Chains A and B, each alone.
Chain A
Amino acid sequence: MTDRYETLAARIDERFGDQLTRVASICGELTYVVDKADLHSVATSLRNEGEFGFEMLVDVCGVDYLNYGSAEWATSSATGTGFSRGVEREPVILDESDEFDPQRFAVVYHLLSIQHNFRLRLRAFTGTDNPPMIGSVVDIWNGANWFEREVFDMFGILFVGHPDLRRILTDYGFVGHPFRKDFPLIGNVEVSYDVEKGRVAYQPVTIEPRTLVPRVIRDDNRYSEDLKDHVDG
């Protein structure tokens, strides 16, 4: 972490206090977690106040933390059955539940200050609402329009105050939100041309999901805590 960024971090801590919580980074990037209730006011200040001047929103990204940190192979103990390619996926919670884990969906904003040459990342969790909801930042950065539409399309996160929240990348009439972790990689439906009906017909997928390389998390002492930037307090 360079001195310039430490100065910026100090200024941000002073200006926003408890509204922003700094997250440690493994590669010297500045990341803050913001409560979704404070998002709009914090974002407005970051954009408009001269000392920050984040006039550009580079990216808006949705993240689904549903099975964060879960692996498909046990690596710390010996296996009695041998490692096989076949991986049984654990059943996941259904979308119909009334409430989500408050740490499940997050929206990540990448900001860029052209005048000061700074980058900043904000992360806001959407809370327990189903469907997940968060305030829109389109009125602060107009470029957020399509980025938020994409997050809505892919994760089903609703942006309150967005002028035109429609699906953007998926097909017309698509059901579901494909980038959620409980959405299968192979999808739910497949299409083919039906000669008799003379149109494209939908049917449930007929292929089997496969895992070619299982997800493995290995402890590696090269990446121990000592290598991370430490945040005071």
Chain B
Amino acid sequence: MVTSITSLGRSGLSDWMLQRVAAAVMTAYVIFITAYLMVNPDLSYEQWRGLHSSLPMRMFSLMTILSIAAHAWIGMWCVFTDYVTVRLIGPKATIVRIFFQLSMITITLLYVVWAIDILWGM
């Protein structure tokens, strides 16, 4: 059993599951928005704003934002633990990796807060 404090779900299975669920949500969102744009070719600002001010749509967007955050967290963590390792770049790797991971986590959380602000601040 290999443990890791910076992976999101703490277990391989939950990380893996989260990524699959997140991917499904993101796919659904992309399909929905694409379809919406195709059905409404002459989309006006009011109509677009109207769509996004309904509670279900806000929830859907929020879910997608959270999915992107989770997906990125897990995915980037994987990338860092693949490439930024003692094996590949020497003893300084741990510090560098922690820096990258904390930066990535911070930025991701900032995006989430900002997105909530946009969605509910309209």
* A and B co-occur in one complex: no
